[in-house]
Structures are given as structure tokens and as C-alpha cells.
Amino acid sequence: MVSRMTRTLVAVIALAGLLFPVSALGQDKPATAAKSQERDQLGGFHVVLLLADNKAAPPIEGVTPNVIKALKDVQQLLPFKSYRLLDAALVRGSNGTTRISAPDGAQYVLVISSGRTAGPGAPLWVGISLRDPTYTGANQPVPPAVLNTSFRMSVGETIVAGTSKLAGSEQALVVVLTALPEPVLHQQ
């Protein structure tokens, strides 16, 4: 004799077969995998340069919510009370150079290089170097880095990449970096 539970289970399986045919389930997987792989493709980087200060000031303006969230995430580690947007830039591709405005109006040079730490879906290895091209030091053909760091991050993630205290002041430069997925970059 077939138990009531067995009949209920057979009915549920039959109903599931009608609602979700095996062929339809199989067709969704490649589309979903393709969309996931698209989001994982690096299109470039959005770089934000901020001026951090120990003096109280109005809330930061002109930055995206993900930049504000990244700052809030590290707020306990950074000793600053206020932030001001200096400049922002878009670097297309996995490696590139751009100029970005410093507080004194000078154009700093930002170099970004990146690559995968392993296969698709693995985090990116990212290296950044921020240099002041107006620096004229003795016996140094290349200006020293104001900020030079490397780290791992994922496509779509926004992080505070680093800070550099400005000589003779209580202020610092803060670099916030977002790894943009390929489709997002093409929409801009």
C-alpha cells in the first residue's frame, strides 16, 4: 500500500515538472552564467581623490554613495573629521595613467596596473602610484611616489586605496578606487 506521504511527494514532483520543465531550467543557466561573467569583466577604474582634514566641515559633496560607504567603513581607522572632493577620473582598461588635481592645483600623475590573481571570478591584484610631477629633487629623475600601494579587490567593489599626509599640515590625500565592470563602463 502506498502511503499518503509518498503520493503527496509524487504529486509535488509531477507539478514541479510541469511548472519547471528540465529543458527550460537548462536554458537559464548559460544566460545566468554569461551575465555573471560579464559583471566580472573589468572595464576600468573610477578614481576619486579627496582632501582629508582634522577640522570639522560640512558633509562631503559630489561623490557617489559607494565612496561615502567606503569612507564610513574605514572611518575608525582614519583620524580625519572631514573630506573634500578634489578630483575624479576614469581609467579605462586594466592598466593606465591619468592626471588628477591636487589641492594646490598641481596635476598629480596616477598610474594603475592590475591583473587577475587566478582564473575568472578571482580577485584582482591592483597597484597604484600617485606622483607629484612638480617635484624637483636632486639626483632623482623620477619624482618619488606620494602614495604607492598594492592590494586585492573584486570587480564592482569600492575601497579606500590609501592615504598620504601632506607635509607641514594636518591634511592628507585619500584615494578611493572602484573597479568598474565592463558593461557599466560602456554605459557612461
Asked if residue 71 and residue 13 are part of one domain, the reply reads no
Asked if residue 75 and residue 48 are part of one domain, the reply reads yes
Asked if residue 141 and residue 73 are part of one domain, the reply reads yes
Query: 40: Cβ–Cβ under 8 A, 6 or more apart, which residues?
Result: 120, 121, 155, 181
Cα 87 from Cα 175, distance rounded (Å): 10
Asked if residue 104 and residue 31 are part of one domain, the reply reads no
Our count of domains for the chain comes to: 2
Length of the chain as a residue count:
188
Asked if residue 34 and residue 46 are part of one domain, the reply reads no
Asked if residue 142 and residue 54 are part of one domain, the reply reads yes
**Of 176, 155, 185, 177, residue with least CA distance to 83:** 176
Its domain, for residue 134, covers: 42-187
For the entire predicted model, the pTM comes to 0.73
What is the DSSP secondary structure assignment for residue 91, as one 8-state letter? E
Asked if residue 110 and residue 18 are part of one domain, the reply reads no
What does the pLDDT read at residue 12? 34
pLDDT in tens, 148-162: 999 999 999 999 999
Q: pLDDT grade, residue 182 (50/70/90)?
A: confident
Task: Please indicate whether residue 187 or residue 157 has the higher confidence score (pLDDT).
Answer: 157
Judged against a pLDDT cut of 80, whether residue 20 lies above it is answered with no
Asked if residue 71 and residue 31 are part of one domain, the reply reads no
Alpha helices per DSSP H over the chain: 4-19, 22-40, 65-74, 182-187
User: How many secondary structure helices (H) and strands (E) does the chain include?
Assistant: 4, 8
